[in-house]
């Protein structure tokens, strides 16, 4: 089973995120960059499937030069090789454009599974698995909290509002996972050393056959008109329970006309 | 007036409240046409509600193929309608299915998409609340037919009767869209409490409850307030409460009038799903818990004494 796993570099989860006033894209320069937390679960799942069924795991990202650090981390977790799609023309791409560029890059690789997480902590759109399945013309298994692979057949538990659906598809396919699926491993010292020797390839837009007129901020399919900081929440009151905490809360509810 | 397509979000044909919110919003943008995509003979349950909230037309597509495969068939029908009717915009709910159908439709029709809008203005500028509610963004779609997914609870649903004239849509799903087959739909819980994403009051419990029994306290308080029950990931992962009750980055995003966090520390991933609630209240024994940075009213204390007292006190005052 050959797996391409997609990872994205995002501002550190706990950092205060901002938009850059000059172009209204996420300000990535001012904060630490990390692998999107949920993508670690996608990498872990890829490694688990490989361990059980054989094959090769390739990690792919589209992002600026510094994204290499994150690719090294994936390699040190045990991924076999890394591909970095990097080109100035891609900067500021919206989700629709990114799905096109990523699909083109995936097209240069051979895969049975394209594995990715449901959403990143910065964009939080939750649509990339669906967009990629549409672009690649392969089945979409998304929002998976459990995956079973049996030959070319894959069955997942897809989370729903009422519980879950058991969904089946045959490879090649797109598999989108959520963080309930596993517990990501930490890179070992051996893994970190081994990562230095693993192949890391760079792709330009041209290498991936990307039409640069279809990517980048200038032709993005949606644009930010303006943005403002939300008014901060007024500081609230915190009281210590002296045996009447419940009564005080009820008083607060009454004062706020919540009861 | 320009036609606005509204994708009906429903359970076995019965529209969810968010559908009425979308129809209400669509009326402020143009003439709403509902798009009903469901299994064979499922439309009967939808008809009256869609008429009550002002649908002018309803495009009705009924076929088991729409329910038996994951989202791709629905996207095919919706994209076909977008191509045929050239609406001014498409509105769908910001649910998992709503976003995935909308996303695939955007790719098929060469359109742009904006997800998680909390408002859409008459000139089709969408408002989003991002980065845990700290930034308000106004965005516009620049390609094709503007597609918006809108968060539940963003618009107050207002009835206004409409003809809801049904127009049947022939469904022929391509083989390519039948790749992901639903083998079984498993219902894990069916409570009588309000839907989490739509509730006006949400009471959530976390690891501080100590075990599944602790949720009885949370349910008791939720019931006296007519609210829904939520949970932190620590509680859902431990199996104390069903996963669909999880609030946060990877759970539901809720924005109720009142959010009560019981025994929840307030990790950033949890805050991402509840930070825009109107009033936030917490009970936690740790005065340093980050949840207190958000609360309008916080009680530092043992939830096992504070919560039962609160529930009793509310019952006393409202009976
Ligand atoms: C990719 C990713 C996605 C995630 N998504 C989510 C998400 O969607 N939602 C989510 O909630 N989390 C999510 N998390 C997990 C998150 O980081 C936290 O681990 C989780 O929210 C903690 O849950 P908790 O507050 O219940 O537990 P804890 O952090 O352990 O807090 C328990 C609290 O209970 C208090 N307490 C204990 N006993 C009592 C008592 N008797 N009386 C009063 N207070 C008491 C303690 O003081 C403590 O503050 C995610 C994590 C990752 C990595
Ligand atoms: N530029 C990118 N490079 C690689 N993977 C990406 C990129 N953008 C999105 N993805 C994948 O899609 C998921 C959802 O991303 P997003 O659409 O940003 O919420 C991410 O967690 C990644 O797995």
Tokens encoding B298:
């916080």
Chain A positions in Cβ-Cβ contact with residue B137 (cut-off 8 Å): 19, 24, 224, 226-227
At A77 the pLDDT is 97
Helix axes A68-77, A37-53, angle to 10 degrees: 40
- With CA atoms as reference, the chain B residue closest to A122 would be B131
Tokens encoding A37:
């937390």
Residue A97: closest CA among B126, B113, B148, B92 = B113
CA distance B90 to B141: 11
Kindly report whether the peptide bond that precedes residue A172 is cis, defined as omega within 30 degrees of 0. yes
Where is pLDDT greater, at A248 or B276?
A248
Q: Give per-residue pLDDT as tens, B234-287.
A: 999 999 999 999 999 989 999 999 999 999 999 999 998 999 899 999 999 999
At A57 the pLDDT is 98
Where is pLDDT greater, at B76 or A32?
B76
Q: What is the mean pLDDT of residues A126-153?
A: 97
CA distance B266 to B284: 10
At A235 the pLDDT is 83
Do A259 and B135 count as a contact with CB atoms less than 8 A apart?
A: no
At A168 the pLDDT is 98
- With CA atoms as reference, the chain B residue closest to A24 would be B137
B14 C-beta closer than 6 A to ligand 1: no
Reduce the DSSP state of residue B236 to 3 states and report it.
Answer: helix
Ligand 2 pocket check: which of A3, A5, A6, A58 to mutate, most ligand atoms within 8 Å of Cβ? A6
- How many CB atoms neighbour CB B104 within 10 A? 26
Residue B169: closest CA among B95, B88, B96, B65 = B65
Residue A26: closest CA among A81, A92, A110 = A92
CA distance A139 to B104: 12
CA distance B303 to B285: 7
Sign, CA dihedral A179-A180-A182-A187, equals positive
Instruction: Please give the torsion angle defined by the CA atoms of residues B82, B84, B85 and B88, in that order, rounded to the nearest 10 degrees.
Output: 40
Tokens encoding B240:
């104390």
- How many CB atoms neighbour CB A161 within 10 A? 17
To the nearest whole number, what is the mean pLDDT of chain A? 95
The helix or strand, by DSSP H or E, that contains position A193, with its residue range, turns out to be helix A189-195
CA distance B231 to A148: 27
Distance between Cα B265 and ligand 1 center (Å): 5
Q: In this predicted structure, which of B39-43, B52-56, B191-195, B262-266 has the lowest mean pLDDT?
A: B191-195
Distance between Cα A121 and ligand 1 center (Å): 17
pLDDT-derived band at A129, boundaries 50, 70, 90: very high
Instruction: Please give the torsion angle defined by the CA atoms of residues B149, A98, A174 and B73, in that order, rounded to the nearest 10 degrees.
Output: 40
At A15 the pLDDT is 74
CA distance B89 to B82: 9
CA distance B25 to B47: 19
A213 and B CB contact within 8 Å: no
pLDDT-derived band at B131, boundaries 50, 70, 90: confident
Do A162 and B287 count as a contact with CB atoms less than 8 A apart?
A: no
B163 CA: distance to closest CA in chain A (Å): 31
Burial of A113 (0-12, 13-18, 19+ CB in 10 A): buried
The helix or strand, by DSSP H or E, that contains position A73, with its residue range, turns out to be helix A68-77
Do B131 and A18 count as a contact with CB atoms less than 8 A apart?
A: yes
Burial of A88 (0-12, 13-18, 19+ CB in 10 A): exposed
Interior/surface letters B222-235, b for 16+ CB within 10 angstroms, e for the rest: bebbebbbbbbbbb
DSSP letters spanning B68-114: HBSSHHHHHHHHHHHHHH--SEEEEESSHHHHHHHHHHHHHHT--EE
Q: Are B222 and B192 in contact (CB under 8 A)?
A: no
A180 and B CB contact within 8 Å: yes
The helix or strand, by DSSP H or E, that contains position A58, with its residue range, turns out to be strand A57-62
H-assigned helices in chain B: 17-27, 47-52, 64-68, 72-85, 96-109, 215-224, 233-237, 268-271, 303-318
Q: Give per-residue pLDDT as tens, B139-192.
A: 999 999 999 999 998 999 999 999 999 999 999 999 999 999 999 999 887 677
Q: Is the pLDDT of residue A16 over 90?
A: no
At A17 the pLDDT is 78
Quick one: DSSP state of residue B155?
S
Sign, CA dihedral A96-A102-A106-A111, equals negative
pLDDT-derived band at A234, boundaries 50, 70, 90: confident
- With CA atoms as reference, the chain B residue closest to A241 would be B301
B92 and A CB contact within 8 Å: no
Chain B positions in Cβ-Cβ contact with residue A239 (cut-off 8 Å): 297-300
pLDDT-derived band at B295, boundaries 50, 70, 90: very high
Q: Are B208 and B266 in contact (CB under 8 A)?
A: no
Q: Where do the domains of chain A lie, and which CATH numbers do they carry?
A: 2-219 (3.40.50.620)
A119 C-beta closer than 6 A to ligand 2: yes
Q: What is the mean pLDDT of residues A127-146?
A: 98
Q: Is the pLDDT of residue A167 over 70?
A: yes
At B189 the pLDDT is 73
A91 and B CB contact within 8 Å: no
CA distance A149 to A212: 37
At B190 the pLDDT is 60
B286 and A CB contact within 8 Å: no
Chain A positions in Cβ-Cβ contact with residue B92 (cut-off 8 Å): none
pLDDT over 70, % of chain B: 99
B61 and A CB contact within 8 Å: no
Q: Are B227 and B259 in contact (CB under 8 A)?
A: no
Q: What is the mean pLDDT of residues A231-245?
A: 92
At B217 the pLDDT is 98
Q: Give per-residue pLDDT as tens, B66-98.
A: 999 999 999 999 999 999 999 999 999 999 999
Q: Give per-residue pLDDT as tens, A43-87.
A: 999 999 999 999 999 999 999 999 999 999 999 999 999 999 999
């Amino acid at each position: 089973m050959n797996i391409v796993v997609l990872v994205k570099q995002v501002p550190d989860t706990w950092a205060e995120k901002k938009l850059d006033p000059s172009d209204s894209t996420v300000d990535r320069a001012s904060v630490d960059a990390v692998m999107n937390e949920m993508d670690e679960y996608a990498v872990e799942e890829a490694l688990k499937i490989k361990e059980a069924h054989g094959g090769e795991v390739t990690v792919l990202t589209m992002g600026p030069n510094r994204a290499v650090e994150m690719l090294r981390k994936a390699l040190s977790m045990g991924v076999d090789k890394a591909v970095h799609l990097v080109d100035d023309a891609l900067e500021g791409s919206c989700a629709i454009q990114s799905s096109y560029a990523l699909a083109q890059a995936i097209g240069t690789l051979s895969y049975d599974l394209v594995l990715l997480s449901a959403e990143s902590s910065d964009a939080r759109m939750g649509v990339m698995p669906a967009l990629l399945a549409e672009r690649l013309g392969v089945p979409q298994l998304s929002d998976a909290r459990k995956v079973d692979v049996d030959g070319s057949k894959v069955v997942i538990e897809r989370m729903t509002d009422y519980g879950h659906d058991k969904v089946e598809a045959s490879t090649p396919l797109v598999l989108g996972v959520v963080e309930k699926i596993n517990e990501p491993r930490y890179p070992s010292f051996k893994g970190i050393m081994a990562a230095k020797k693993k192949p890391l390839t760079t792709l330009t837009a041209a290498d991936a056959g990307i039409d640069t007129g279809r990517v980048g901020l200038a032709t993005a399919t949606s644009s930010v008109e303006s943005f403002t900081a939300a008014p901060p929440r007024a500081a609230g009151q915190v009281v210590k329970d002296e045996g009447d905490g419940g009564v005080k809360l009820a008083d607060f509810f009454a004062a706020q006309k919540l009861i | 007036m320009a036609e606005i397509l509204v994708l009906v979000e429903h359970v076995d044909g019965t529209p969810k409240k968010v559908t009425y919110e979308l129809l209400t919003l669509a009326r402020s943008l143009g003439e709403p046409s509902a798009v009903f995509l469901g299994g064979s003979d499922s439309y009967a349950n939808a008809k009256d509600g869609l008429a009550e909230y002002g649908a002018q037309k309803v495009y009705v597509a009924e076929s088991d193929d729409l329910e038996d495969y994951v989202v791709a068939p629905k996207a095919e029908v919706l994209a076909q309608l977008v191509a045929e009717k050239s609406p001014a915009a498409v509105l769908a709910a910001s649910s998992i299915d709503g976003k995935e159908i909308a996303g695939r439709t955007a790719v098929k029709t060469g359109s742009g998409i904006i997800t998680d809008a909390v408002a859409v203005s008459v000139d089709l500028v969408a408002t989003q609340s991002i980065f845990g509610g700290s930034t308000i963004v106004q965005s516009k779609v620049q390609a094709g037919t503007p597609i918006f997914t809108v968060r539940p609870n963003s618009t107050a649903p207002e009835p206004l009767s409409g003809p809801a004239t049904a127009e049947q849509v022939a469904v022929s799903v391509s083989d390519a869209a039948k790749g992901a087959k639903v083998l079984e739909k498993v219902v894990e819980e069916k409570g009588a409490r309000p839907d989490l994403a739509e509730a006006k009051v949400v009471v959530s419990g976390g690891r501080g409850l100590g075990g599944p029994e602790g949720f009885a306290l949370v349910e008791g308080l939720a019931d006296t307030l007519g609210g829904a029950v939520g949970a932190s990931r620590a509680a859902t992962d431990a199996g104390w409460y069903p996963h669909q009750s999880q609030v946060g980055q990877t759970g539901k995003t809720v924005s109720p009038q009142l959010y009560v966090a019981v025994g929840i520390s307030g990790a950033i991933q949890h805050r991402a799903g509840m930070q825009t609630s109107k009033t936030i209240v917490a009970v936690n024994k740790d005065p340093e818990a980050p949840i207190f940075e958000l609360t309008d009213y916080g009680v530092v204390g043992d939830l096992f004494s504070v919560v039962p007292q609160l529930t009793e006190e509310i019952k006393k005052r409202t009976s």
